[in-house]
Amino acid sequence: MIPYNFEYTRAKTLSDAQAMLAKNPDAKLLAGGQTLIPTMKMRLANPSALIDISKLAELSFIRTEGDTVVIGAATTHGAVAASADVRRMIAALAHMAAHIGDPAVRAVGTMGGSLANNDPAADYPAAVLALNATIKTTEREIAADDFFTGMFSTALDDGEIITQITFRKPMRAGYQKFANPASRYPMAGVFVAQTSDGIRVAVTGAGPGVFRVEAMEAALAKSFTPEAVAEIAVSADNLNSDIHASAEYRAHLVTVMAKRAVEHAVANDGH
């Protein structure tokens, strides 16, 4: 067995973590570790150091500020799912968090870690994009439309750390996914949100990155009903095709999940 060779340090504060990253740019931040640790086990990553930020209270919180919900980057999926504030303000977001992975994953996986990794099959990017959330980092604030730049790629600069994500309370929102039975990752997941800025429909799992469906947004703006999107087809071009599902099947799933997401939004009675 090839031995692991890295230095592990638990940061005491966010500033402490920033200083460690500046000193060792090859280091990786460890929050929930749901992607990083398996990647290291498969020898696809070999960082010289791990900086553990999972216990930082300044990154683990949920609070409401007027019509917004602010969630710390190190907040676990389980905490989001269980939060009365999240369920009251954005029930669809709590529903999403409750169906990520399994209980063990939800107990340690974090929202900030998921967004920073930007796995094309992750759930949270769809919510962030559909709800037009704002990602705050140690350096700046980044709009959802500008954050996701490609497969496993984001607008984050080296050494930049996500600190919190701000969501405005939508008028209506819903999320539905067709989950891989083994991993629970969405083979196609659709988050639909009606906000004061209009309708946004975001898709995850189906392509190499999260994306919006403008045709569905326009249709829902005229009639926020499941029937409005039921006949809108998404092109299979550039969608994922693998042993689990073809691109054509995923395209079909997007329409089906969009219809169910609208039904979910209506059932949530505005949240």
CATH number at residue 257: 3.30.390.50
Residue 231 resides in a domain: yes
Residue 30 resides in a domain: yes
Residue 106 resides in a domain: no
pLDDT of res. 2? 59
Candidates 133, 236, 256; CA nearest to 186 is: 256
Residue 251 resides in a domain: yes
pLDDT of res. 69? 98
Residue 140 resides in a domain: no
Residue 195 resides in a domain: yes
pLDDT of res. 271? 54
Residue 252 resides in a domain: yes
pLDDT of res. 85? 98
Residue type, 103: P
Residue 123 to residue 96: CA distance in whole angstroms: 7
pLDDT of res. 268? 78
Domain count, the chain: 2
Along the 271 residues of the chain, how does pLDDT read in single tens digits?
Answer: 456 788 999 999 999 999 999 999 889 999 988 888 888 888 888 888 999 999 999 999 999 999 999 999 999 999 999 999 999 999 999 999 999 999 999 999 999 999 999 999 999 999 999 999 999 999 999 999 999 999 999 999 999 999 999 999 999 999 999 999 888 899 999 999 999 889 999 999 999 999 999 999 999 999 999 999 999 999 999 999 999 999 999 999 999 999 999 999 998 764 5
Query: Which domain range does residue 201 map to?
Result: 172-268
Q: Which residue, chain included where needed, has tokens 């669809």?
A: 92
Residue 114 to residue 87: CA distance in whole angstroms: 20
Residue 222 resides in a domain: yes
Determine the angle formed by the axes of helices 91-98 and 247-267, rounding to 10 degrees. 130
pLDDT of res. 3? 62
Rounded to whole angstroms, what are the CA distances from 231 to 40, 179, 248, 251?
A: 43, 22, 15, 12
On whether the pTM is more than 0.85, the answer is yes
